[in-house]
Structure 1
């Protein structure tokens, strides 16, 4: 561990100085998550801090004028002495707006993580348990070290970089693009909240057979035995997207990434912190996250297919994986094949009115 930290310290010296503290924090967080996963045998350590880490990185960049030049506490954030006076002394309104949206995102995800029980140190995401069964022991340990601990923490670090760019742009006031993107981000968070609640409501009904009359707005759906028998949710936003929550999650971080890119100051984007900058590097955070969610969704769907082979395969043919606007296209293609009515009956039939009244 000491040699790893020494190597990391050498690397820090080659980084642009506003990245020193976040990279150091990411290194320690990665090491902590991995060590805890080995000690506890539970690899959901990153899952428990997922909701907080992007907010921490975003807050560091948005609040650069707040931090001291020298830290008296380990891992306490600092503002580099070499930072330009305009950035070190003035808050960027764009960066502060982005921080506000990320904090709102954090509250939504924290609530959903809490009710799913993942803040409980003994709970583990069910997908890791299934992956552990499918892989040889040595290879699962390799995946835990490389992907679960290291790569996921790097992705969470990358999500803070758009705010770094916004902080360095130093706009005097918010622009039209900021207001438009902020509105889209709020709508996105609301839709993700609704999709999470619909899934939660369905799962509760599926396991208890009872409808909760006190659901959140948008999730007060009259589930039927037909829905429970199907095994997976196909109503509400889930009739338009197989993963509306994941679609909204990817869309949110794409919107955050666009704030500095679409701003009037965009020609002043700083060079990439990597040694080989490219024109597309500002898109890296959202692109990497989309790649992760695509792979994660495919794995989740392989589990669903093993449980509901006929129904879920029909669901894949009828409903888009992410983008809701593609679902009518899939329906039209099935109609041309003469299969739409049968598939719709399988997926969207909710039982008789009498069965609904008995719930």
Structure 2
């Protein structure tokens, strides 16, 4: 396939997504000011990546002109080669992102975060830590603008797949697609384990009523500790965050490692474009910085226990947790830290989990 003219794409395929990004940015910011609640963007995180993905995956479906203000359309400037035939890779990615959306939407719904009055606890804490004028600037630039740009970027991998127009799925599509489903399942389990723990901690809910994989026999030692350290959370301090980043890295890689690697018509002086990697890089940067702030809050609430948890369990990568355990053992501190983190011996913990 001939190289795709990047500058032509900016006038074509990106026209509607950019319009939607501007609209969601202004709307979410206005709602945050009106309601004094900065979690408006958090709520649209559950479905905006799917909307962008659907637009690129279903290009042949859209009309040439929008008959409603925000209705998707494909301008005449878009090459007919991309609007007359569906890309099987883009459709696969759309199916995966839709599955991801159902998982996240369900978890958001049961936590009550779809209610307009509910706000992420981290924003309330950060609001108290900085001057009001700084928070208002932060609210527009980071919470509203930058996060909506990130949501826009998450659709770019499907945009690349839609332009590749492969005849059929490749081996890499099957491997990465299966991996993405496994990651979604693991993230669902980690969400359920956290929800099971919080339900037992705050309401005394019987763990046996929870989803399979989350029926953990919580103890009063777990409640006193204040945070979850069982199941997947015994191997990673943030298994849900790890799975989230991994899922979008897989989505980002699907068109990049495919046989029809993207080729872009750039000026002769330009270097090989690296912008196709932007979605994964930006998202991982966001999660890392967000995790640092989240852990600072946990550390202030549970100084001794969470410090021990940090020294025993890896932030993301579970394969590092045994390494931290070995390091503590060499220093003669493993049993002491295990008692604080797990509240039981390693043998007992293995039997229970």
Task: Specify the TM-score bucket, using the shorter chain as the normaliser.
Answer: over 0.9
Task: Measure how far apart 1:82 and its partner are.
Answer: 2.3
Post-superposition CA distance 1:60-118 (Å, at most 9, x none):
00000000001111011111212222211000000000000000000000000001111
8 Å contact 1:223–1:350 — kept in the other structure? no
Long gaps (5+) in structure 1: 1-11, 352-359
Change (3 A) 1:91 1:295: same
Q: Deviations over 1:277-313 (max 9, x none)?
A: 7532211101100000001111110110011001100
Which of 282, 286, 299 is the aligned partner of 1:292? 286
Q: Does 1:134 find its partner at 2:142?
A: no
Which digits, 9 at most, give the CA deviation of each residue in 1:244-275, with x for residues without a partner?
Answer: 00000000000000000110001x33368xx9
8 A Cα contact 1:169 1:269, kept in partner: no
Residue-by-residue CA offset, 1:300-359 (whole Å, 9 max, x unaligned):
1011001100110011111110111111111111111111111111111259xxxxxxxx
1:241 paired with 2:236, answer yes
CA contact (8 A) 1:211 1:223 kept: no
| Aligned pairs (5 A) from 1:28-107 | 28-107=23-102
2:348 counterpart residue number: none
User: SS where residue 313 of structure 1 aligns?
Assistant: helix
Take 1:89 and 1:211, find their aligned partners in 2: how far apart are those partners? 54
Aligned counterparts of 1:271 and 1:253: Cα–Cα separation in 2: 26
Q: Deviations over 1:192-226 (max 9, x none)?
A: 00000000000111112342321111000000000
Q: Tell whether 2:342 aligns with 1:348.
A: yes
Paired with 1:85 and 1:20, the residues of 2 have a C-alpha distance of 16
Aligned counterparts, 1:1-359, within 5 A = 15-266=10-261, 268-270=262-264, 278-350=272-344
**CA RMSD, 1 decimal:** 1.7
Matched residue pairs, number?
A: 337
| 2:4 matched residue in structure 1 | none
Looking at structure 1, the residues matched to 9 and 177 of structure 2 have their Cα atoms a distance apart, in angstroms, of 34
Show structure 2 runs of 5+ residues with no match: 1-6, 346-353
How far apart are 1:181 and its partner, in Å?
0.2
